[in-house]
A and B are shown apart, each in its own frame.
Chain A
């Protein structure tokens, strides 16, 4: 193999003029994390709302929830990002469209919202399955106590569900993090994009990709450890939750 390894490359200044190649990757990691956090917040809040909607005793609610999930599950994430980034601003009223296009960090906002919506459909599935896994007696008992539907969900069903679905939620959290890399196609300078830029500037392909691999593995491991602890702390006694 006539490939010239040079692990010292990370300490060399990058041609962008701000810091070393290592700093460049770290800047990318920051965008990855910020995007993942915002996408996760969107995914969990919207996903819970849609998941609840799909279990309500209302045909309209269930229909709307199902349509939402089918829409976001059956179109590839990449195509969804293109729709939000290239198509949506053209279809909006002119002023709104122009505002969207000239937004600072537009690819970050589009990426985070796009990944968030994509993941929310998956989380809605988990929430729905979680609510349906509860014994029917729980919601019946709540009704017998005179709680309204809203109160039943807030005080009885959701606190149980969120504790039950935490294990699958952990893996969706990791998926959210990984999916932010797709946003490089709309110009987000996240970790994978910066790795690719480093490779193009320095020609050290394998050092760059090895570094990105290690960074992703470390972040994955950290999230897994923290969430496993959390899972243990709030697991419902007597329930065999997931793994």
Chain B
């Protein structure tokens, strides 16, 4: 009943799949998570700030990103970034942006919206008295945030941040729509070149499953250990 299955095609393409594909996927995931967290924290601080304009600006950005499908956002930036680059660099024509840079910018800006919601909850979970205490001993706003509030917020939210990063890891597969060779793109290239769709897609699914599943198990055990005793 089963069609002929050729496991060799997987073995043969392993170096290509992992050295090109998976390393792209993992680098993109790590950098976009870091950038997204940084930008997301800034957005969260903006939303909680009492200065005028900042809060509605950040809220608008976060809500906009969260209402759009990631696929549409990927297309948006794919076409928009070269024009923005042209304006910034005062070039005569749209700037050519590499596949990796384009994907990294997209995912950082997109994930920042989600991370900002997480960080906002994290910052709000810290008692206000700590802010007041920080000011009382003469720290500036950035010192209070940087040394006292944000580190605790990150620690409280670490499981959620990591879970979001696992989601990001899975979402990076969507760069397929702009023909970038990430892990899935590499698997798909081999699948189409050798006519081995079944083997390659099942293998890709297994690899994604193994990584996401074990990562989420690790997050769960981490959650038990890092919880701040109250």
A70-95 vs B, Cβ < 8 Å mask (1 yes, 0 no): 11011111111011001100110100
Partner of A79, one of B2, B69, B204: B204
Q: B57 near A: Cβ within 8 Å?
A: no
Q: Is A178 an interface residue (CB 8 A)?
A: yes
Are A217's CB and B64's CB within 8 A? yes
Among A1, A86, A181, A205, the residue within 8 A (CB) of B72 is A181
Q: Does B137 contact A (CB under 8 A)?
A: no
Cross-chain contact A182 with B71 (CB below 8 angstroms): yes
Contacts of A82 in B (CB 8 A): 188, 197, 201, 204
Q: How far is the CA of A37 from the CA of B64 in the complex (A)?
A: 22
Q: Are B67 and A87 in contact (CB under 8 A)?
A: no
Q: Bound state CA distance, A192 and B79, in angstroms?
A: 14
**What 0/1 readout, one digit per residue, does chain A (188-218) give for beta carbons within 8 Å of chain B?**
0000100110010000011001001100110
A179 within 8 A of B: yes
* Alpha-carbon separation in the docked complex, A70 to B3 (Å): 28
Q: Is the CB of B75 within 8 A of A192?
A: yes
B1 part of interface (Cβ distance < 8 Å) = yes
A79, B184: Cβ atoms closer than 8 Å: yes
How far does the alpha carbon of A54 sit from the alpha carbon of B74 in the complex, in Å? Answer: 36
Say yes or no: A90 contacts B198, CB within 8 Å.
yes
Are B69's CB and A78's CB within 8 A? Answer: no
Task: Tell which of B138-146, B149-157, B209-217 binds the partner.
Answer: B209-217
B121 CB within 8 Å of chain A: no
- CB pair A86–B171 under 8 Å, yes or no, is no
Closest A residue to B1 using CB positions: A93
Q: Any chain A CB within 8 A of the CB of B70?
A: yes
A86 CB to closest chain B CB (Å) equals 5
Interface residues of B (CB under 8 A from A): 1-3, 64, 67-72, 75-76, 79-80, 83, 86-87, 93, 170-171, 173-174, 176-177, 184, 188, 197-198, 201-202, 204-205, 208-209, 212-213, 216
Give the 7 A-B residue pairs with the shortest CB-CB distance, closest first.
Answer: A181-B69, A74-B212, A76-B170, A178-B69, A76-B173, A220-B67, A181-B71
A76-B171, A76-B184, A182-B174 known, 10 other contacts, Cβ within 8 Å: A70-B213, A74-B208, A78-B184, A79-B184, A90-B198, A91-B198, A181-B70, A192-B71, A216-B67, A217-B64
26 pairs of residues in contact across A and B, judged by CB atoms under 8 Å: A1-B87, A3-B83, A74-B209, A76-B171, A79-B173, A79-B204, A79-B205, A79-B208, A83-B201, A86-B201, A87-B202, A91-B2, A178-B69, A178-B70, A180-B69, A181-B70, A181-B71, A184-B71, A184-B177, A192-B75, A196-B75, A205-B79, A209-B72, A209-B75, A213-B72, A217-B68
